[in-house]
Structure 1
Amino acid sequence: MITDGFLYLGVLLALAAVLVLVTRRTDIRLFTYVPAFVLLYICAAALNTVGVFGESESIDATGGAVQDALLPAMILLLLFKCDLRRIVKLGPKLLLTFFVAAVSIVVGFLIAFLAFRAALDAEAWKALGALSGSWTGGSANMVAIQGILEAPEDVFGYVLIVDTLLYSVWLLLMFGSVGFSERFNRWTKADTSKFETQDGPEEEGRPIDLVSLMGLIGFSLFVSATASWIGEQLPELGDVVTATTWTILIVSVLGLVIATTPMGRTAGSTEIAMVMLYVIIGIIASGSDFTSLTQAPVYLAVGIVVLLVHLVIMALYAKLTRTELFSLAVASTANIGGVASAPVVAGAFDRQLVPVGVLYALMGSFLGTFIGLTVAQLLAAV
């Protein structure tokens, strides 16, 4: 049984390193649909379930301190590539499609929560708020909301399982939609002749080196500490707007500002942010216990209802506005899947349209946390 905080953190980092190595260096098809961070969650939670991680003040203090330090830094670095000037170039119709997709998911969560509220845990609204953050942005948004709302680890484990299963199914559906895009566009009477491909984000001009790594790590952790201190000085508003919320807001706005400057193109920001994401997920997972997974089917039903509502609303929107399937599929994937999958789905339609998928996903990476917090507040109020 591990009770030392440093050893506990070392085991999580080693486990994450092994899983990333295996998923990135092998051709096993399973890893195409189940990312390494999900496997990390499962493995870390399994270790806790069998008693590898013991209850101790050292583990709690280490995990809490590391998570509090890395969460704002991770969000800051992930937003370095989110240049609003490029997002605006998408045009009003494409931007509207993205926002309709996000709103339809919010509506889906409200309907599903009301339908299954009696069977859900008392603090399910926190975990579902985190899931909505993932389904309107990405995994980083999910982790951010979990940190803000302090959703119970067990309940958070349910929604992470739901996120993984339904995301995989949805991604397959989006890929499959390419085959009937022409028939769908005829049904909506969409005009695809005027569809303009946008330019993608600029590639990093310099390779990752010691200067960029030290600069990004030092700057992001300094901003994290400063934003946390400022957040503690600001007033709390209800259950959602806490000191952590203020901290996330500060780093998010700063990240968007930096994205418009040359600093936003510093090599290595995404890679460092992903390392931080793995550490945070490992810490969260180490507090989960698989013995309470009997409630997971209820949360799976909630997720299915959310996606059905999303599908219906998007189909109606496409018919009313004569929108082509490409925009719908990529906007939906950018919300539910995030940066990793939206460009891939866009490329399945046309390789030249990949930049649109990238920009859609970047919009979600910024907005997902705030949409998820809004959903959590709505669920807590109904």
Structure 2
Amino acid sequence: MAIETVTPSTALITSDIVLFGLIAATLGLIFWLASGPTPFWKKFFAWVPALLLCYFVPAFYNTVGLIDGENNSLYNPIASRVLLPAALVLLTLSIDLKGILRLGPKLLFVFVAGTVGIVLGAIVSFQVMEWVHPPAVAGDTWKGMAALAGSWIGGGANMVAMREVYEVDATLFGQFAVVDVAMASLLMAALLFVANRSAQLDARSGADTAAIDEMKSRIAAYEAANARIPTLNDLMIIVAVAFGFVGLAHAIANPLAAWFGQFEWAARFSLDSSFVWVVLISTLAGLILSFTRARRLEDAGAARIGTVFLYFLIACIGMQMDFMRLFDRLELIAIGAIWMLVHVLVIWGAARLVKAPMFYIGVGSMGNVGAAASAPVVAAAFHPTLAPVGVLLGTVGYATGTLIAYLVGQILRVMAGQ
């Protein structure tokens, strides 16, 4: 009988506890530098997003042999099976659907058009590249595109969820993370440029801006009345809600996956995977909580804590990546460019159809592509009191991004013939 041998790790750090400390310290250092302690770092992070460093610095550790990114228990089960669903719960419970509906039908129409543009962009870019350069979409490229759809419809948590659902290779995921940051950064730069000229552009197009003025006063009043400094009770309740529902999701997911495993068709839709059900149940739990008093936990910073979990998860994914192979497939940038162009054309056409102001285009587009992390920046560029509108639309993406990206993945899977 052959004896299987395991090659010992040659990494300098092999302890999971030491690795945990290194990742935590790295994230803390990145965000401290991003706060701009010196003029150099202010300029540096104006061009290099902190998110990208949270992914690439751990990848660098893995590349040079400081750590062994794959042979540890930090990513699985801690980050992917615990922190990811916890982040989904906290990021979706803050959704104020009633408040979003009061923003007006035009804004919602433009935002939904942006989502449709992302879905169409995935299909169009895949088909165009299949005609022009078939190797670009060969193999598992569709899986990486499904993950990117999760980011551009929802956010980082949705992208990571799709990475897990479709088992996207760490290097391919990293390549699409580059596409994500590159295209999203270009879009944000363009929208910030437009924001400074929105009054002239709205006047030229005859857009109705009355709803924006009403929004400004209402949002300012809400922020003044509800924001508070979190107490220890608040933080303990937030943690209890997050991890309590993570436990419940895992308890329900395992028997559900086993039941669907009886059917051959279920495997094609990944319904026999317990992790898929963990993601869906966690998202649904957050949505249900958003209709209860639990939504007030957002006033104490529930989404911030969820974002902390998310960034730790991103770092754990990054440490599995082979940094040297990151730019092997630059043709993926072409896929992202075509994809983004379709999104912009669709949302611009929808806005012109209903004579929506430029603010709706800006926050509707970035509410999809940048989610709650970047949409407030674009919204505030139009007016500081409008930043929460970006948060509201961005959080809707968190709720819908996983499901819609999953469907996009299924469409691309068929197009890829798999």
Same fold (TM over 0.5): yes
Please give the alpha-carbon distance, in whole angstroms, between the structure 2 residues aligned to 1:184 and 1:314. Answer: 16
Shift of 1:212: 2.2
Residue 276 of structure 1, aligned match among 295, 306, 309: 309
Q: What is the CA distance between 1:38 and its match in structure 2?
A: 1.7
Aligned to 2:275: 244
Query: What is the deviation of 1:135?
Result: 1.0
Q: 1:182 to 1:206 in 2, by over 3 A?
A: closer
Structure 2 match to 1:86: 99
Question: Aligned-pair distance for 1:156?
Answer: 0.3
Q: What is the CA distance between 1:300 and its match in structure 2?
A: 1.1
Q: CA–CA distance in 1 between the matches of 2:278 and 2:336?
A: 29
The alpha-carbon distance between structure 1 residues 321 and 287, as it changes in their structure 2 partners (threshold 3 A), is same
Say whether 1:223 aligns with 2:245.
yes
Q: Please name the residue that 2:146 is paired with.
A: 129
1:194 deviates by: 5.2
CA distance in 2, matches of 1:56, 1:321: 51
Does the aligned pair in 2 maintain the 1:136–1:335 contact within 8 Å?
A: yes
More deviation in 194-203 or 122-131? 194-203
1:159 to 169, 176, 191: 176
Among all aligned residue pairs of Structure 1 and Structure 2, give the percentage whose two residues are the same amino acid. Answer: 32
Of 267, 272, 294, which residue of structure 2 is paired with 1:263? 294
Task: Provide the C-alpha distance between the structure 2 equivalents of 1:145 and 1:163, rounded to a whole number of angstroms.
Answer: 14
Pair 1:243–1:292, CA change in 2 (3 A): same
Answer with 118-127 or 279-288: which moved more. Answer: 118-127
Structure 2 gap ranges (5+): 1-10
The aligned counterpart of 2:116 is 103
How far apart, CA to CA, are the structure 1 residues paired with 2:277 and 2:363? 31
In the TM superposition, residue 327 of structure 1 has moved relative to its aligned partner by: 0.6
Distance 1:74 1:316 in 2: 34
Larger Rg: 2
Question: How far 1:305 moved relative to its partner?
Answer: 0.6
Structure 1 residue 187 displacement after superposition: 5.5
Q: Is the 8 A contact 1:333 1:342 kept in 2?
A: yes
TM-superposition CA deviations, 1:19-60 (whole Å, max 9, x none)? 122212525123234332321211111111112223775x1x
Question: Is 277-286 or 212-221 further displaced after alignment?
Answer: 212-221
CA gap of 1:56–1:165, structure 2 versus 1, over 3 A, is closer
Correspondence 1:340-359 to 2 at 5 A: 340-359=373-392
Alignment of 1:63 with 2:75, yes or no, is: yes
Conservation of the 8 A alpha-carbon contact between 1:197 and 1:352: no
Structure 1 segments, 4+ long, off by >6 Å, are: none
Please list the CA deviations of residues 226-270 of structure 1 after superposition, one character each: whole Å capped at 9, or x if unmatched.
202211211263244432222222121221222233322222312
**Which amino acid letter does the alignment assign opposite residue 311 of structure 2?**
Y
Alignment of 1:48 onto 2:62 = yes
Aligned partner of residue 245 in structure 1, secondary structure? helix
- AA aligned opposite 1:8: L
Query: Does the CA-based 8 Å contact 1:34-1:168 persist in structure 2?
Result: no
Aligned residue for 1:3, secondary structure, equals coil
Aligned pair partner of 1:112 in 111, 125, 128: 125
In structure 2, how many angstroms separate the alpha carbons of the residues matched to 1:55 and 1:284? 8
Specify the code of the residue in structure 2 equivalent to 1:249: L
Give a deviation string over 1:39-92, Cα, whole Å, max 9, x none: 1211111111112223775x1x33201121111111101123212121221222
Of 197-206 and 213-222, deviating more is 197-206
Task: Tell me whether 214-223 or 188-197 shows the greater mean CA deviation.
Answer: 188-197
Aligned mates of 1:33, 1:84 — CA distance in 2:
34
Assess if the C-alpha contact under 8 Å between 1:63 and 1:283 holds in 2.
yes
**Which whole-Å CA distance do the structure 1 matches of 2:279 and 2:28 have between them?**
27
Pick closer, same or farther for the CA change 1:318–1:214 going to 2, 3 Å: closer
Distance 1:154 1:87, change over 3 A: same
Q: Distance in 1 between matches of 2:212 and 2:233?
A: 41
Residues of 2 paired with 1:247 and 1:205: CA distance?
31
Separation (CA, whole Å) in 1 of partners of 2:70 and 2:95: 40
CA offset digits 1:116-162 (Å, max 9, x no partner): 24223511212111111111122222122212222110000001111
CA drift of 1:115 comes to 2.3
Unaligned runs of 5+ in 1: none
